[in-house]
Amino acid sequence: MDEYNRERKLDFENKIISKVVQFNKEHRFLGFLGVAYAVLAVIGYNICSLFYNNGKKLTCLASVLMLFALSSSFSYSSVAAVDEVRISHEDTIVAGKNTGTQVKEEKEEQQAVRASFNRDDWKIILVNKQHPIPEGYDFKLGTITGGLKCDERVVSPLKKMISAAKDDGVELYVCSPYRNSERQTMLFDKKVNRYVKNGMSYMDAYRETSQAVTIPGSSEHQIGLAIDFITDNYTALDEGFAKTDAGRWLSENAWKYGFILRYPKAKESITSIEFEPWHYRYVGEEAAEVIAKNNICLEEFWNRYVGE
């Protein structure tokens, strides 16, 4: 057999084995059959090429008979031997073609991240209407500046972020960090009353208010982990803040300092709070990176990445 033919033969064999490996991956239960037929196909091809190249009809006939005997008494050990070939050939399959492997890798990655987030970590505590502040939740208040306070563990990353923004020419002012439950209740009731005064029923007013002001007991401001920002030329807490330099800077950079946009646009159905471009929540740098890079909100982060 000349060099060209030998190469073609090897190429053909490899193709068959790859195809069978692919088939096996998709239909594991048919693995045995797949491997058996691969062996038959390769041996069959060998016999044909032998016949073609040498014209030795007798050898060919003997091989066919042997093959027949082999196939009818296919033992487990021979399957295992071929299985080893299969495994070594797995590496040669072009990466990216097999979506099953990709999905598996993604799942493994998710599990690895999942293992690194602990549900008892104070930084990632989930507080919303369904998850009110746990009874007895304890933390120490620290001072940001003047009478403005937040969880003392957040003061340093917050100051770091504010000074980084300043270096980029952006002024960030903290306007409403920690609020005690009385203040949260007062803010909530004030808004409900305003709606009621305008003719809304109490139930409707309550529902409407809860979209904009967090129900007392479910606000991250009460545990000192949420910060509202304003900037020198924009002091209103409304959607317009998103278009200011400060709003843009925060949405691009806050995660680097452990802060996330807590109520993003297009996530209202999950957070049940309207888009609040001024409201940032401290979750720590590790979680903030995962949340920002996957473009998810804290509720989604809990679903995907926080272990039992």
Point out which residues bind Zn ion (CB under 5 A).
228, 279
Distance of closest approach, residue 169 Cβ to Zn ion, in angstroms: 25
DSSP run (H or E) holding 230: strand 226-230
CB of 119 to Zn ion, least distance (A): 24
Yes or no: say if 42 and 13 are a contact pair by the CB < 8 Å rule: yes
Active site residue 276: yes
- In 3D space, the residue among 106, 177, 103 whose CA is nearest the CA of residue 147 turns out to be 177
Who's near 286: CB < 8 A, 6+ residues apart? 116, 117
Contact by Cβ (8 Å): 226, 149? no
Name the residue nearer to Zn ion (CB basis): 228 or 300: 228
Give the amino acid at 209.
T
84, 276, 289, 299: the active-site residue: 276
Strands 173-174, 226-230: pairing kind:
antiparallel
Cβ at position 265, least distance to Zn ion in Å: 16
Q: Which of 154, 150, 160, 156 is nearest to 123 (CA)?
A: 154
Q: Select 155 or 174, whichever has its Cβ closest to Zn ion.
A: 174
If the CB atoms of residues 18 and 214 are measured against Zn ion, the closer one turns out to be 214
Residue closer to Zn ion by CB (options 123, 279) is 279
Q: Which residue is nearest to Zn ion (CB)?
A: 279
Q: Which is nearer to Zn ion, 224 or 284 (CB)?
A: 224
Rounded distance between C-alpha atoms, residue 126 and residue 137, angstroms: 12
Determine the distance from the C-alpha atom of residue 116 to the mean position of all C-alpha atoms in its chain, rounded to a whole number. Answer: 13
Q: Are 127 and 218 in contact (CB under 8 A)?
A: yes
CA distances 100 to 18, 83, 96, 97, 212, Å, are 16, 19, 9, 9, 43
Least distance in angstroms from the C-beta of 212 to Zn ion: 10
**Least Cβ distance, residue 251 to Zn ion (angstroms):** 15
Enzyme catalytic residues: 276
